[in-house]
């Protein structure tokens, strides 16, 4: 690498042991880190060749700054394009020229030019092409000699050899990853206003308003010039040329305002979607269970409407208010004077009152529509049950009542939207003419003053039409907001003080192929029993006096529970249905919080660990609560690891599937691990799905693995095979089963 990387780039690479300081400096320069939080140095025991360990440490270090570090793996073919779009980002260079790895800090990207933060804390500008070539050369070096020989044998002209060589290298290495890259982003749980400021969206709004203000000023100046020409008798080539230049200047100003508006909408839409997705992932499990599929679908529909309606309506109203202010100034200088402005204000208040009336009826209509959607989806899900159990004459009775109420609500909403959206903007011209009547009848208004007043009326009419359309969109967005407001209020990840969790390889507590009698497998043949577990090393779970219940009334389901799970233990939990087994499992893996008591994982509580709790404790829930997502089999297996997965991770997943008896399934699948599964993909049997759920949990290599009735759908031979694999691969294991 030393021969490949230019000296100018070698001097920009930060040593890996200063990764904490580099991350902090990049976040501060990019305006992402407002709070002061020192990031400790890279642990000495961290394996720099382990990409998963690097990503885990980088994610933890970014969390201490209240940020997210998104690992991106990009092949050589798209590496230069990534450099132009990734900033702010950290690039991990395997060899900086002295046999040591390093980090490159990309602060900004402007076109093909990148701003890098050097070790001297100064900004250095380099081209994306130069940086891409420097980082890709080590990958290309082993193939240069063979390609040069091929070009010589093919007698490629010297003038075309460089281009041909680059094309062959690009095709040969197009799928090979160049280096590790982490994109720094604000965490979704950060204050939304703070996210807006960091994305500089208020500046874009200000620039957009200035652009549209310039448009309206140019329009007024052009009309004033036309008035002077026609009324003053100054028709000559100079005035016409000036008027033409003013009209032509409107084109770039309109384009600039439209581009700023679209750019703001894209950035705001991205932030809204990220925020809503984070809120969905943090939703309370019990609250989600109380909602049917129809209600969840309704919330999704409203969340999709929120983005377009809020952005289009909000920006439309903002621009229309600016235009209305300019129109009021024009009217004040016209023949109607302040009386005209007062009339405009009263008309605006009346428009707002009609819009509020429309909002009230729209909300009632929307709630009825969402309820009908919920009822329709629920009846579709249970359609066969209704055909078998419900009497025919009762099936449509409720539908008729709901449709009648919905029709009445629709008619009321239509009656409210007509005056708000159509009558009010167009009625202003009649009201405006009435405002001119006193001056016109008195005969003391000049032609110029009347012309100015008419121009102000036209501007106000256009502004009122924009306000009317914008308020209608904002009304629909406000109704949608009432449905998704709970999702928007995401909580910040509690990772600022969380300790770094170094990964380690699994250490089986029992010999491969054996199980302990106390682990709940007493029915296994005696030849496979082990006399005793290894001596306990440390506590994985330490729970004392845990209390948890559903609802606010009645006795808690778990009352004063004490539990200790040591590293290497393999436990079996049995009990009747409804006894709290699955509830306890959800507490142990952090899906629910106990109402009282102390629950520690590796000696730390949930507040200290934050979302890192899920890295240490994982669960394969019951079959009806576990899902095969639409995607590849590999994704469903490795969704708890890195994705896209590396070759080693894919090989590990394939080996585990074969251990669990899924080898014949992989052979039947045309694409193997890359076969699409899910509702519209390869259909899996009950037992195959259960083993995939088991493999998904084991591949996370957590300190504690909880299996909730994961073996219930397996035949005895397959159960024994899966149980032995689970005992061999798990660190601490809790199996839940019915007696």
Question: Where is pLDDT greater, at 697 or 267?
Answer: 697
The Cα 706–Cα 588 span in angstroms is 8
Q: What is the pLDDT of residues 447-466, one digit of tens each?
A: 777 777 888 888 888 888 88
**Average pLDDT, stretch 542-550?**
88
Question: Where is pLDDT greater, at 604 or 505?
Answer: 604
**Average pLDDT, stretch 97-107?**
76
Question: In which band, very low, low, confident or very high, does the pLDDT at 405 lie, cut at 50, 70 and 90?
Answer: confident
479 and 174 in contact (C-beta within 8 Å)? no
Query: Number of C-alpha atoms within 13 angstroms, CB side, residue 518?
Result: 8
What percent of the chain is predicted at pLDDT more than 90?
8
Matching residue, tokens 């669990």 = 660
The Cα 411–Cα 408 span in angstroms is 5
User: What string of DSSP letters covers 248-310?
Assistant: HHHHHHHHHHHHHHHHHHHHHHHHHHHHHHHHHHT--HHHHHTS-HHHHHHHHHHHHHHHHHH
Q: Quick check: bond before 171 cis, omega within 30?
A: no
Residue 204 has pLDDT above 80, yes or no: yes
Residue 738 has pLDDT above 50, yes or no: yes
Question: In which band, very low, low, confident or very high, does the pLDDT at 523 lie, cut at 50, 70 and 90?
Answer: very low
Cα end-to-end distance, the chain, whole Å: 62
Question: In which band, very low, low, confident or very high, does the pLDDT at 311 lie, cut at 50, 70 and 90?
Answer: low
Which residues neighbour 503 within 8 Å (Cβ) at sequence distance 6 or greater?
Answer: 52, 53, 56, 701
Confidence at residue 111, expressed as pLDDT on a 0 to 100 scale:
76
Question: Where is pLDDT greater, at 608 or 51?
Answer: 608
Question: Where is pLDDT greater, at 43 or 557?
Answer: 557
The Cα 58–Cα 658 span in angstroms is 33
Confidence at residue 98, expressed as pLDDT on a 0 to 100 scale:
62
The Cα 85–Cα 72 span in angstroms is 12
Taking alpha carbons only, the member of 707, 700, 699 closest to residue 623 is: 707
> Which fold, 192-487?
ABC transporter transmembrane region fold (1.20.1560)
The Cα 425–Cα 429 span in angstroms is 8
Confidence at residue 517, expressed as pLDDT on a 0 to 100 scale:
31
Lowest average pLDDT, out of 218-222, 227-231, 707-711, goes to 227-231
Q: What is the pLDDT of residues 216-227, one digit of tens each?
A: 888 888 877 777
Q: What is the pLDDT of residues 618-636, one digit of tens each?
A: 998 888 888 888 889 999 9
**Average pLDDT, stretch 240-266?**
85
Confidence at residue 313, expressed as pLDDT on a 0 to 100 scale:
67
Confidence at residue 698, expressed as pLDDT on a 0 to 100 scale:
92
Confidence at residue 219, expressed as pLDDT on a 0 to 100 scale:
81
What percent of the chain is predicted at pLDDT more than 70?
81
b/e per residue 681-707 (b: at least 16 CB within 10 A)? bbebeebbbbbbbbbbbbbbbbbbbbb
The Cα 736–Cα 567 span in angstroms is 18
Q: What is the pLDDT of residues 109-141, one digit of tens each?
A: 887 888 888 888 888 888 888 787 777 777 777
Please state whether beta strands 732-737 and 570-574 pair in parallel, antiparallel, or not at all (unpaired).
Answer: parallel
546: which 2 tokens?
A: 């845990």
Where does 61-147 show beta strands of DSSP type E? 67-72, 89-93, 102-110, 113-117, 123-127
Matching residue, tokens 């016409």 = 240
Lowest average pLDDT, out of 159-173, 282-296, 697-711, goes to 282-296
Confidence at residue 737, expressed as pLDDT on a 0 to 100 scale:
86
Residue 513 has pLDDT above 60, yes or no: no
Q: Does residue 440 sit in helix, strand or coil?
A: helix
State how far the alpha carbon of 103 is from the alpha carbons of 97, 100, 187, 508, in Å: 12, 10, 22, 36
**Average pLDDT, stretch 682-694?**
89
CATH code of the region 515-628+684-737? 3.40.50.300
Residue 5 has pLDDT above 60, yes or no: no
Which residues neighbour 625 within 8 Å (Cβ) at sequence distance 6 or greater?
Answer: none
**Average pLDDT, stretch 369-377?**
79
Question: In which band, very low, low, confident or very high, does the pLDDT at 244 lie, cut at 50, 70 and 90?
Answer: confident
Question: In which band, very low, low, confident or very high, does the pLDDT at 655 lie, cut at 50, 70 and 90?
Answer: very high
Q: Does residue 361 sit in helix, strand or coil?
A: helix
Q: What is the pLDDT of residues 25-61, one digit of tens each?
A: 888 888 777 655 566 666 665 655 566 677 778 877 8
The total number of residues written for the chain in this structure: 739
Residue 691 has pLDDT above 80, yes or no: yes
**Average pLDDT, stretch 651-667?**
92
700 and 708 in contact (C-beta within 8 Å)? no
Confidence at residue 321, expressed as pLDDT on a 0 to 100 scale:
83
Most confident of 90-99, 415-424, 496-505, 702-711: 702-711
Which neighbouring-strand residues pair with 542? 564, 600
175: which 2 tokens?
A: 């799928």
**Average pLDDT, stretch 488-505?**
56
Q: Is the dihedral of CA 666, 667, 668, 674 positive or negative?
A: positive
**Which DSSP state fits 576?**
-
Which residues neighbour 155 within 8 Å (Cβ) at sequence distance 6 or greater?
Answer: none
186: which 2 tokens?
A: 């604000």
Which residues neighbour 704 within 8 Å (Cβ) at sequence distance 6 or greater?
Answer: 540, 541, 565, 588, 589, 601, 616, 617, 618, 731, 732, 733, 734
**Cβ neighbours of 661 (radius 10 Å):** 17
Q: What is the pLDDT of residues 320-371, one digit of tens each?
A: 888 888 888 888 887 778 888 888 888 889 888 888 898 889 888 888 887 8
**Average pLDDT, stretch 480-501?**
65
Residue 606 has pLDDT above 50, yes or no: yes
Question: In which band, very low, low, confident or very high, does the pLDDT at 156 lie, cut at 50, 70 and 90?
Answer: confident
Confidence at residue 522, expressed as pLDDT on a 0 to 100 scale:
34
Taking alpha carbons only, the member of 311, 318, 312, 308 closest to residue 212 is: 318
Lowest average pLDDT, out of 127-136, 167-176, 287-296, 396-405, goes to 287-296
Matching residue, tokens 């290894």 = 534
Confidence at residue 104, expressed as pLDDT on a 0 to 100 scale:
85
Average pLDDT value for the chain? 78
What ranges do the domains of the chain cover? 7-186, 192-487, 515-628+684-737
Question: Where is pLDDT greater, at 399 or 362?
Answer: 362
Lowest average pLDDT, out of 142-151, 264-273, 322-331, 414-423, goes to 142-151
Please state whether beta strands 704-708 and 617-620 pair in parallel, antiparallel, or not at all (unpaired).
Answer: parallel
Question: Where is pLDDT greater, at 150 or 592?
Answer: 592
């Amino acid at each position: 690498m030393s021969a490949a990387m230019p000296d100018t780039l070698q001097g920009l690479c930060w040593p890996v042991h200063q990764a904490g300081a580099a991350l902090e400096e990049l976040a501060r320069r990019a305006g992402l880190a407002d709070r002061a939080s020192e990031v400790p140095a890279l642990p000495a025991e961290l394996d720099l060749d382990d990409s998963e360990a690097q990503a885990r440490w980088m994610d933890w270090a970014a969390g201490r700054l209240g940020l997210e570090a998104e690992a991106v793996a990009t092949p050589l073919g798209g590496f230069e394009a990534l450099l132009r779009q990734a900033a702010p980002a950290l690039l991990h260079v395997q060899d900086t020229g002295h046999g040591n790895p390093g980090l490159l800090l990309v602060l900004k990207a402007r076109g093909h030019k990148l701003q890098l933060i050097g070790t001297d804390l100064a900004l250095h500008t380099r081209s994306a092409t130069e940086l891409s070539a420097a980082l890709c050369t080590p990958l290309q070096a082993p193939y240069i000699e063979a390609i040069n020989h091929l070009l010589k044998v093919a007698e490629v002209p010297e003038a075309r050899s460089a281009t041909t060589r680059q094309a062959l290298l690009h095709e040969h290495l197009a799928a090979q990853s160049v280096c590790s890259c982490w994109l720094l982003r604000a965490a979704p749980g950060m204050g939304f206003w703070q996210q807006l400021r960091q994305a500089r969206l208020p500046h874009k709004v200000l620039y957009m308003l200035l652009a549209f203000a310039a448009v309206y000023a140019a329009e007024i100046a052009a009309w004033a010039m036309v008035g002077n020409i026609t009324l003053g008798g100054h028709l000559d080539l100079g005035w016409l040329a000036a008027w033409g230049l003013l009209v032509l200047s409107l084109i770039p100003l309109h384009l600039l305002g439209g581009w700023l508006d679209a750019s703001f909408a894209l950035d705001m839409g991205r932030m809204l979607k990220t925020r809503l997705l984070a809120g969905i992932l943090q939703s309370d499990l019990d609250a989600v269970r109380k909602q049917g599929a129809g209600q969840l679908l309704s919330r999704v529909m409203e969340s999709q409407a929120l983005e377009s309606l809020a952005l289009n309506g909000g920006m439309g109203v903002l621009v229309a208010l600016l235009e209305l202010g300019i129109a009021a100034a024009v009217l004040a200088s016209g023949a109607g004077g302040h009386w005209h402005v007062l009339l405009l204000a009263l008309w605006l208040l009346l428009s707002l009152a009609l819009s509020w009336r429309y909002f009230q009826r729209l909300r009632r209509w929307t709630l009825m529509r969402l309820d009908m959607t919920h009822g329709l989806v629920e009846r579709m899900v249970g359609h066969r049950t209704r055909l078998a159990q419900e009497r025919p004459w009762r099936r449509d009775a409720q539908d008729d009542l709901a449709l009648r109420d919905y029709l009445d609500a629709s008619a009321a909403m239509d009656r409210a939207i007509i005056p708000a959206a159509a009558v009010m903007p167009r009625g202003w011209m009649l009201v405006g003419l009435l405002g001119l009547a006193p001056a016109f009848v008195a005969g003391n208004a000049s032609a110029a003053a009347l012309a100015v007043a008419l121009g102000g009326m036209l501007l106000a009419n256009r502004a009122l039409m924009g306000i009317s359309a914008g308020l209608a969109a904002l009304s629909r967005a406000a109704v949608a907001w009432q449905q998704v407001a709970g999702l928007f209020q995401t909580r910040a990840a509690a990772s600022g003080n969380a300790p770094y969790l170094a990964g380690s390889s699994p250490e089986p507590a029992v010999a491969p192929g054996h199980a302990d009698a106390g682990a709940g497998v007493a029915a296994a043949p005696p030849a496979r029993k082990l006399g005793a577990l290894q001596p306990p090393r440390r506590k994985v779970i330490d729970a004392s006096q845990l209390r948890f219940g559903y609802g606010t009334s009645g006795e808690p389901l778990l009352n004063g529970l004490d539990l200790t799970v040591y590293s290497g233990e393999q436990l079996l939990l049995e009990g009747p249905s409804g006894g709290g087994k699955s509830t306890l499992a959800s507490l142990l893996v952090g899906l629910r919080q106990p109402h009282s008591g102390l629950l520690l994982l590796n000696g730390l509580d949930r507040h200290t660990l934050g979302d890192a709790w899920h890295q240490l404790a994982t669960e394969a829930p019951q079959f009806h609560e576990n899902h095969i997502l639409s995607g590849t089999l590999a994704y469903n297996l490795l969704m708890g690891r890195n994705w896209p997965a590396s070759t080693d991770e894919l090989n590990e997943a394939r080996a585990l599937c074969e251990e669990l008896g899924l080898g014949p399934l992989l052979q039947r699948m045309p694409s193997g691990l890359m076969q699409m599964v899910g509702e519209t993909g390869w259909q899996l049997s009950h037992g195959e799905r259960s083993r995939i759920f088991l493999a998904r949990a084991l591949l996370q290599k957590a300190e504690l693995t909880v299996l909730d009735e994961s073996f219930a759908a397996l035949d005895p031979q397959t159960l024994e095979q899966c149980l032995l694999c689970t005992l061999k691969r798990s660190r601490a294991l809790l199996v839940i089963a019915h007696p």
